[in-house]
Structure 1
Amino acid sequence: MELETNLNLESPDDFYEALIEAHLDLSTEQSHAMNARLVLLLANHIGSMKVLQEALVGARKAAR
């Protein structure tokens, strides 16, 4: 499996709205903890270390 970098969400706007709503009323610490848990849940779903490493490299590049 290769990292999918093209738009692959059924409804990106709906997902973004749900993500923002999930953070409502959380402290900064709780929000960070929720993001970490979400990353781990999605990483477990993906399962492929190769794909996860590609994602980590791509995310780090985008952050710099």
Structure 2
Amino acid sequence: MQQQQLITAPNLDAPDDFYEALIEAHQGLSTEESHAFNARLVLVLANHIGSLAVLREAFDAARAS
């Protein structure tokens, strides 16, 4: 199995479209529902990534920003 590394360089095909879709996904949600949505989204994306090493890199990168 190949070792994965976190991609930190811009990598979204359409970042503005992603941001718009993310905002739309939050439309109509209360603050509590929005936080719960974000938590579920993080878990779904973490499952997609699948590598604890990459996720730890992401934690470090998020804390540093």
Pairs aligned (count): 62
Percent identity of paired positions between Structure 1 and Structure 2: 68
**Runs ≥4 residues deviating over 3 A:** none
Pairing partner for 1:49 from 27, 41, 52: 52
> What letter is aligned with 1:29?
E
Aligned counterpart, 2:13: 10
Where structure 2 has 5 or more consecutive residues not aligned to the other structure, the ranges are none
Higher helix share: 1
| Corresponding position: 1:29 with 2:40 | no
Q: Distance in 1 between matches of 2:28 and 2:63?
A: 28
CA RMSD of aligned residues (A): 0.6
